[in-house]
Amino acid sequence: MKRGLKWDTILRSKLFWAVVAEFLILLVGFIIRPDFLNIQIRTLEDGTRVLFGTPIDILNRSSEITIIAMGMTLVIALGGTDISVGALVAVSGAIALKFLRWDVLEYTTPGDYSVMPFVYVLVVPLVVCTLMGLFNGTLVARLKIQPIIATLILMVAGRGIAQIVTDGKQFTTQYAPFKFIGNGSILGIPLPIIITFVVVAAMVVFVRKTSYGMFVEAVGINPNASRVSGIRSAVIIMIAYVLTGLLSGISGLIYSSRIISNDSNNAGLGYEMDAILAVVLGGTSMTGGKFTLVGTVVGSIIIRTITTLVFYFGIVSEAIMAFKALIIAGVIVLQSEPVRRAIARRREKRHINLGGELHA
């Protein structure tokens, strides 16, 4: 009975089906090309040894979305959304590159130095993105503007600000420490994966070891009751948006380091939707309330797996988006309430038919 019950809850959880979906997609990849799951160690020209293979690539490339989606999970659990994250990625990259290449007024060869101290390159973009998060949070928590409208402001303005910062120019750099963020590796593991791991771990600890997570859920489920119980919901909401801003900044640094350039028009394009999707695929409901950060990580990996799969099999580029959407639709159907319930019920029935003691 006890074990049967546990299985029942697992079968009904969205996270479980997200994991199932991920394995199914990987399986499809493996069937079509058995080397899809291979991981090997390669030695680069400079002698460093790096893990190599599609699974590593998936993890590596999912970093930007995973990091942002950590914040997005909290925002969504509070019943909001933040659609400015993609623009903040562009802002972050623009500021970083501006500090690296303050000397360049025209397109020139990439320099292997930084004009400003490297600390500035790292810290200022994060500070600016955090402040932008604060701006979002203030609009939502204090001025009670609907989250989608409040964050729409920076979604539109952010890319403009990025353009202003860089005078509308695109810089490139060869400055090694900066390149290292998105392209380096430690002990063979690509740095973005390590950064993501640290961010996820820090967020999980912050959310579950303090009572912040419980307050987020309480406010997301019942704001009135939370207020009467003495929770200052404005502060809780504010923190979620500020964190999302900061995390978008980190994500922006990784992205701009990967392409060793800034790109106000394309950096972080569509990230808001991917981040929201990651949260939802992970099992957190758009209506707010209970959330799971680990689920969001799985969601983000699913999205990247699909993208990789699509690229891997050389589907014509025009069809990529449609194909991606098709798989995502499949995952969502698998996770939907009626389907989950039907599967759980089927199991239950079989249980009875087999003479299982449901009432025992």
* The two structure tokens encoding residue 194: 């390590």
Name the residue nearer to other proteins (CB basis): 42 or 208: 208
> How far is residue 52's CA from residue 38's CA, in Å, rounded to a whole number?
8
> Residue 272, class by beta-carbon neighbours within 10 Å (0-12 exposed, 13-18 middle, 19+ buried)?
buried
Q: Distance between CA atoms of 126 and 298, rounded to whole angstroms?
A: 25
Q: Shortest distance, CB of residue 150 to other proteins, whole angstroms?
A: 23
Nearer CB in complex with other proteins: 149/214: 214
Shortest Å, Cβ 199 to other proteins:
20
Sites of contact with other proteins (CB under 8 A): 5, 8, 209-212, 214-215, 217-218, 221-222, 224-232, 236, 289-290, 358-359
Q: For residues 253, 123, 129 and 266, what is the CA-based torsion angle, rounded to 10 degrees?
A: -20
**If we measure between CA atoms, which residue out of 85, 25, 81 comes closest to residue 55?**
25
Nearer to other proteins, 37 or 205 (CB): 205
Query: Is the Cβ of residue 71 or residue 289 nearer to other proteins in the bound state?
Result: 289
Nearer to other proteins, 165 or 218 (CB): 218
Looking at residue 272, its amino acid is E
Least Å distance, CB 209 to other proteins, is 7
State in angstroms the smallest separation of the CB of 300 from other proteins. 24
Rank residues 176 and 235 by Cβ distance to other proteins and give the closer one. 235
We find the least distance from the C-beta atom of residue 219 to other proteins, in angstroms, to be 9
Q: Smallest distance, Å, CB 217 to other proteins?
A: 6
Q: State the nearest-atom distance from the C-beta of 226 to other proteins, in Å.
A: 7
Question: 49 or 232: whose CB is closer to other proteins?
Answer: 232
User: CA 272 to CA 169: how far, in whole Å?
Assistant: 24
Tokens of 56: 């590593």
Shortest gap between Cβ of 236 and other proteins (angstroms)? 8
By C-beta, is 31 or 358 nearer to other proteins?
358
By C-beta, is 223 or 330 nearer to other proteins?
Answer: 223
> Closest by alpha carbon to 271, among 127, 91, 130?
91
Minimum CB distance to other proteins, residue 88 (Å): 25
